[in-house]
Structure 1
Amino acid sequence: MPNILIVDDESIYRRGLRKLIGELDDEWQVVGEAKDGYDAFSQLEKLKPDAMLTDIRMPRMDGIQLQQLARKRFPEIECVVISGYDDFSYVQQSMRQGARDYMMKPIEKEELAKVLAMMKERLKERSGAQLKRSREANEITQHAAEHVLKELMRGTASGNDIRLLETMNIAFSHPAFVCMVVKLDKSSVGSERYQQADPFLFQLYIKQVAQEVVGRKGMGYAVVMSETEVAALLNVPDADGAMQEALELADSVRRGISSLSRITVSIGVGRPKKGYPGIAQSYGEAEVALLYRLIQGGDRVLPYPETGHRSGSGADAADQAWQQLESAVSEGRRVLIADLAKAYVEQLCRHADTPETVYQRICKLLIHYYEWASQAGVTAEWLGAKDMKSVLQHVCSLSSREELEETLGKLLLSLTDCLTERSVKGSADPIRRAERYMEQRYAEALSLKDVAEHVYLNAAYFSALFKQKTGKSFVERLTEIRIAEAKRLLLGTDQKLAVISEATGFSSIRHFNRVFKAAAGMSPTEFREKRRNG
């Protein structure tokens, strides 16, 4: 009978876990409880449990420190960590200390049952089942890898996250990436069937098919992004020639799903981009492309390049109204917006063959401005609690010209106000403002995300724009600023290296010495002595 120690600083939570473990698996015996790391380590010595379930944040000694000690003294103990904070850095530290899995508070009963079962299986077969242990370890690795892949696509991954992928033998051998986003066509399921089923099961099925298709080519990975969305990240050798292959793969996924089941999906495909920052850009384009499902229908692949506005050579009577409306929005001429929106709808209604044509053109117009809002970082301010899908659905439900004119006018007037406000906040060159901010805050633990938010830009877009404008990466420029200030302090003051290191934003003297020598060709001490004596 396996036994387990529960470690958490909240007594009510310890009691709840004890009860839940007993209900889930009566083979498990809770041999003790501890309120912090010190208490837990003492009980480990005395009770020698097979497993330990520990919180991360606790007074006196936290879960990370406890794992460090336990790993040295009891290397065979099974450890699972619990965090009430959605901070992946704690999970990374725990995994480095030997944690086999982790759970986020509040713990789901099914998740705990799975973790207990996995631990029990490992304990039973530790002596001989090396293959099974490897498979379980791979599951944990996959869980962590999927988290990092999601962060890459959302544009929030750090260098540490990418290095973590490399430690799990997930390496991208090619320089370019393409993202595709797969969504279930709910109409193919039926509302009753969809409501009765667990939506997440649909996503798992879609992910399985997508992974099989892209994995067969050795091109990438599929991950479940949410209850309604699966994304696939493709790693391709050439950004210029990869789009056609990506579209063919996407269509293979679409056909594979429909042939194996009675459901259909729509797939948006972003354009190929180079480098890690391009992943988030391609993912965003795939999301925009997928919005066209409302216009073109489901069960199809929707490539980003084909979704933009195509202006006819004077043949479409609404083109001029579109262009006038676009100029008014971009220039902030709000007094014209309502009249121009009305004129655009009038032109559409006058010349369209069917009502569907009117809805399609208005949806295209709104998606066009949704891209503007995304690039300017004002989507949340513009749409509030709504998303673009619900906005388009509402537009397509309107049955009169007057309602369309009023709704479109209000939406574009609101967007104009958001863009004007952001323009006032973000006046002047954002890269120059970013450099000034870095020059003022170099002593702090600045991140690319911090600086991007200061200039109101998306982190991935800011990174690419910074490199384009300055010829240097964000880290290279920040290091340059810090080294320049360090040189000034070395020559102009008698401060100790530890003081200068801290004052210029380096995490330690060792880090300072290494970076300084790489930049200046000599150590800080050698630099000071040579310049002063030379």
Structure 2
Amino acid sequence: MPTIMIVDDEAIFRRGLRAMIADSGGDWDIVADARDGYEALELLEKHRPDVVLTDIRMPRMDGLQLQHIARERFPELQVVVISGYEDFSYARQSMRSGARDYLMKPVEREELLRVLDGLKRDWQSRQSEQQQEQPFEGQELRQKAAAYLVAGIMRGSVQQAHLDLLSQIGIELNEPFFNCMVIKLDKDSVDDDRYRKTDPSLFQLYIQQFVQEMIDLRMKGFSFVFSDSEVAALINLPYGEGGEKRLLDMAESVRRQIKSLSNLTVTIGIGRPVKGFESMLSTFREAQVALLYRLVVGGDKVLVYEQAVQQQFLRSERRKWSWEALEQAINEGRLHGIHELVDSVVLELCEQAPTPELVHQQICKLLIHYYELSEDLGIAKAWLGGRDIRALLIEICSISSRTELMEQCRQLFGNLAAVIAAGSKQLESDPISLALRYMKRHYSEPVTLTEIADRVYLNPAYFSTLFKQRVGKTFIEHMTELRIEDAKKRLASTDEKIASIAESTGFSNIRHFNRVFKNETGVTPKEYRERIRQQHKV
């Protein structure tokens, strides 16, 4: 019902207007009446009526002054002015200043009802527009709540204020336990052309809205787009195991129905339930870890953290991964078939590694190996295009899709082979340079002459002869020199135990280390350390 306030300095006139408005059918609520403009301004602040019906001529502050001030303070306020015939010029001035209509004294019932009917239709129209805008306003508040929650998660701090904000949009999470789902689109389920032509954020929005609809039907919770590739859902659970089962059932239903309705597949990671909202971060992190297992078991699944980390999906024994064919293609700058080799290596690793961490570890190990090599050759910038290797490794460790990992590795190793092919054949034409670089990085390991000869594709006997000719020392002599130089640095600059230094520089035991060190330097490791420190004191 619209509200109205009457302003006139004559009490009898105010009562007359009240009576006529009341007799109009009860369509208006008269919230106040005032004797002049000053009193009217105070009542406007208090009651905020939709319409003011005001006389023009009043003491202290007349209707025109009231209209000007009220228009600035209350832009939506509708003003109808009342004037006598002798004040009609004031009424026209009022209309030019924005008054909705005017009435002449003495006010006739039919004329008043005509004006009020028009005002009521305008009010109803505005109410309808506001109701249509309300969902948008609610969506803005929801987006604000989601952004606030994402920021809290990124900072590692979620508090009661986050729950209070969710409460403002009607999401009451008052059960004792919380759990999280992280839902990720399986990119390989989307046709390449469809993915390129569609804003990727629209996929996330579709998934988020679908998840929220499922939550609204089955549980208490709040879903939000967490990143460019992930949707997260905060689920509120009651006491007992029944809540966890309902969550798993809902997650499976989300996975199946998205696949059925949109021909897209998603993988869902679920953490362990925690008590209290402030502990929600741990279950969120667990859901993300569970999602990483998509690398070793494939997508289109619901992955539960506890099962993922405890169950050995495949063989769990550690093994030495075979990269020879891929490394040979890269070292030779051979582009033909490089992508197929990359796919084969990544697929083998994902299928046989027991954990996603081991997949990431092995890929990162190979990248670091080639980064060091490319730095030695001066081609690192040409290979990576100026990208920081640390940021690249972090990016690799965030990938949980085989397809995406293959694409990234194809690009990286294919580009490296192309740079080598275009700019330098050092790896192919100078096996001794390659051997020296490898020895410099791996002297702390039990590296053998045969192993390095195999790496540079030479017969061990020929490699040994060629090495002595080029370096002026035998393979063993050069390896020993590298190890002793590192040991000398550690003895001089650290308090590390001598036995530890022996082990970390590649010697099989401390006795062997002491003997070789004295042969090379003329003193024992202990004597060398004491001599260096004495020199520094001087």
TM-score between both structures, scaled by the size of structure 2:
0.40
How does the TM-score come out when normalised to structure 1? 0.40
Max radius of gyration: which structure?
Answer: 2
